[in-house]
Amino acid sequence: MTVEGPVTGTGLTTGAGLTRGAGPANGSPEGAARHPATRSYESGSARVAPGWRERLLHFLLPAPCLACTAPVEGRGSGFGLCAACCGRLEPSPAAGLALPAGEAPPSCRRLLWGWHYRPPLDAVIAGLKFRRLDYLGRQLGEQLGRRFAAELAEIDVVAPVPLGFWRRLGRGFDQAETIAAAVASTAGGLRLETLLSRRRSTAPQSLRGGAERRRNLAGAFAARTAVGKTWRGCHILLVDDVITTGATLEAASAALLEAGAGAVTALVAARTPAPEEQICL
């Protein structure tokens, strides 16, 4: 599977008639080394071969793959992975995951997910969340926006699941917001809005079971007033990074519906296999 690299920005004029194409729009110090953009340099009629500096840099100091640490040749295949690891990614079925019929009325109309949360994608998510490689969130969001473009055509507004205040402060950004912003811009320029807030801090979910996760998140989210005023009756796309039991998405989507949203579709980058638990949105 080949994943596209970071997007490049607008050309910059540096002076003395020298025009340079912008580098990766990733805001990460690792970005230029991991995923260099192709550049062209012009001075009058002279032209230097595009990307020669980046190719030389990768030849001398190849970036390690996030999953296996093997050198990533050239621009790699995306997500900070080498071509071999990128080929091991397991995408979801074409239509994502449809909610089972006959269950108690789910808060989400549909769940869409990009990949199985297995190696090597777990290294990508860990790099995004714990190593501050925020360009990975943009790459995930761009891929999700392109893949589910048809399903997102009925969406009115995109909203991320908010991170708790202290966790966001520690990370320096919200990974769900980074993914959601890229989804919104890739899928036809959808509006991105902050429609939820955290009423209280919650303990980490990673070591909890399904029932404990739901208790931990009960009443944790509040919808902002814009949901009932500007977006009443609208179809909201709720974005997060990973789903395990669905407790987070259930609590967040329930708050949106209670405030007046017409429908909620959930979109996540990855779904954790949980054979002992049924995913219940």
Q: How far apart are CA 75 and CA 73, in angstroms?
A: 6
Q: How far apart are CA 235 and CA 94, in angstroms?
A: 22
253 pLDDT higher than 50: yes
203 pLDDT higher than 70: no
Task: Give me the residue spans of the domains in the chain.
Answer: 12-82, 110-271
**Best mean pLDDT range from 95-104, 160-169, 228-237:** 228-237
More confident call, 189 vs 88: 88
What pLDDT sits at residue 36? 35
What pLDDT sits at residue 67? 95
pLDDT tens digits, one per residue of 132-190: 999 999 999 999 999 999 999 999 999 999 988 888 888 889 999 999 999 999 998 89
Q: How far apart are CA 209 and CA 30, in angstroms?
A: 35
Which range is least confidently modeled, 25-34, 65-74, 128-137? 25-34
32 pLDDT higher than 90: no
User: What residues does 191 pair with on adjacent strands?
Assistant: 157
Do 196 and 236 form a contact (C-beta atoms < 8 A)? no
Percent of the chain, pLDDT > 70?
A: 64
69 pLDDT higher than 60: yes
What pLDDT sits at residue 37? 36
3-state secondary structure 123-190: HHHHHHHHCCCCHHHHHHHHHHHHHCCCHHHHCCEEEECCCCHHHHHHHCCCHHHHHHHHHHHHCCCC
Q: Alpha carbon 91 to chain centroid distance?
A: 15
pLDDT category of residue 71 using cuts at 50, 70 and 90 = confident
250 pLDDT higher than 50: yes
Match 């999953």 to its residue by tokens: 67
Q: How far apart are CA 31 and CA 59, in angstroms?
A: 16
**Long-range contacts of 62-67, Cβ-Cβ distance < 8 Å, separation of 24 or more:** 63/30, 63/33, 63/34, 65/120, 66/120, 66/123, 66/124, 66/126, 66/127, 66/133, 67/119, 67/120, 67/123, 67/124
21 pLDDT higher than 70: no
Do 99 and 108 form a contact (C-beta atoms < 8 A)? yes
275 pLDDT higher than 80: no
pLDDT category of residue 269 using cuts at 50, 70 and 90 = very high
**Best mean pLDDT range from 43-47, 166-170, 220-224:** 220-224
Burial per residue of 243-259, b for 16 or more beta-carbon CB atoms within 10 angstroms, e otherwise: bbbbbbbbbbbbbbbeb
28 pLDDT higher than 50: no
Average pLDDT value for residue range 70-90: 85
pLDDT category of residue 103 using cuts at 50, 70 and 90 = very low
What pLDDT sits at residue 144? 96
Nearest alpha carbon to residue 194 among 226, 165, 240? 226
Percent of the chain, pLDDT > 90?
A: 49
Q: What is the mean pLDDT of the chain?
A: 76
Decide the pairing of beta strands 110-116 and 196-198. Answer: unpaired
What pLDDT sits at residue 23? 40
pTM, full prediction = 0.72
82 pLDDT higher than 50: yes
Nearest alpha carbon to residue 250 among 111, 109, 99, 107? 107
Q: Which CATH number fits domain 110-271: 3.40.190.80, 3.40.390.10, 3.40.50.2020, 3.40.50.300?
A: 3.40.50.2020
The number of C-alpha atoms within 13 Å of 21 and in the hemisphere containing its C-beta is 15
Other Cβ atoms within 10 Å of 3 Cβ, number: 17
Q: How far apart are CA 26 and CA 65, in angstroms?
A: 17
Q: How far apart are CA 271 and CA 171, in angstroms?
A: 22
Residues in the chain: 281
